[in-house]
A and B are shown apart, each in its own frame.
Chain A
Amino acid sequence: DAMVIQNPRYQVTQFGKPVTLSCSQTLNHNVMYWYQQKSSQAPKLLFHYYDKDFNNEADTPDNFQSRRPNTSFCFLDIRSPGLGDAAMYLCATSSEQGSNSPLHFGNGTRLTVT
């Protein structure tokens, strides 16, 4: 089945220690997104890629970076995690942007910062 896969499902990192979260997709979708979801809150868009074009949300902290080396893979880098960055990180894809294309989500990576 075509899908969005996030690894790992659970990640523990230390305060200030860089961490990378991974996302891959077999849907061949043009658009990939990273959302941050804190407990009992709505997912918050951090940034997205349309093909190789990177789009950063205005309120996404500089501590968060992303890479998309090819269509299938996208990475979320947190350069210096703080306690407030503990959250579920969701990767999603869609076939087109600015349309009625729904999002296809992975199962998320739950990040713990100690």
Chain B
Amino acid sequence: AQSVTQLGSHVSVSEGALVLLRCNYSSSVPPYLFWYVQYPNQGLQLLLKYTSAATLVKGINGFEAEFKKSETSFHLTKPSAHMSDAAEYFCAVNAYSSASKIIFGSGTRLSIRP
């Protein structure tokens, strides 16, 4: 069975600092991996997705993530945090063999300090 683990339920960085949100996956088959962002009282919005075409994936709002098979990781980064990045971030996995079952991690709340 596939799953994702997000390390750190809350991350706080200063405005302009590097953002690093960690995600490790477990899957018996090559996975599809996603990062979603959720602002308060809203649905989730896709930031980026990994589909095996390239290990470094660029997404919206300046975010990117790197797929590392040897580390079973798919960490999300942004070089310079902006106040508008404050939100909840979810890593998700959908294994090739799964029939439509996308599994979400427990989420990481990102806070930005002025």
Contacts and interface: CB of A to CB of B under 8 A. Distances in A.
Contact of B44 (A41, A98, A103, A110): A103
A92 interface: yes
Contacts of B80: none
A100 B105 contact: no
Interface centre among A6, A50, A107 (most CB of B within 10 A): A107
Which secondary structure dominates where chain B touches chain A?
loop
A97 B99 contact: yes
A62 B90 CA distance: 28
Given A55-B99, A100-B49, A107 B43 contact: yes
A41 B107 CA distance: 7
B90 A42 contact: yes
Interface in A37-60: 40-43, 45, 48, 50, 55
A100 B51 contact: yes
A25 B41 CA distance: 19
A105 interface: yes
Nearest to A96: B100
11 contacts: A40-B107, A42-B90, A42-B107, A45-B101, A45-B102, A48-B100, A50-B100, A94-B100, A98-B94, A103-B34, A103-B36
**Which 7 residue pairs across A and B have the least CB separation, nearest first?**
A105-B43, A97-B100, A42-B104, A100-B51, A100-B32, A102-B46, A105-B44
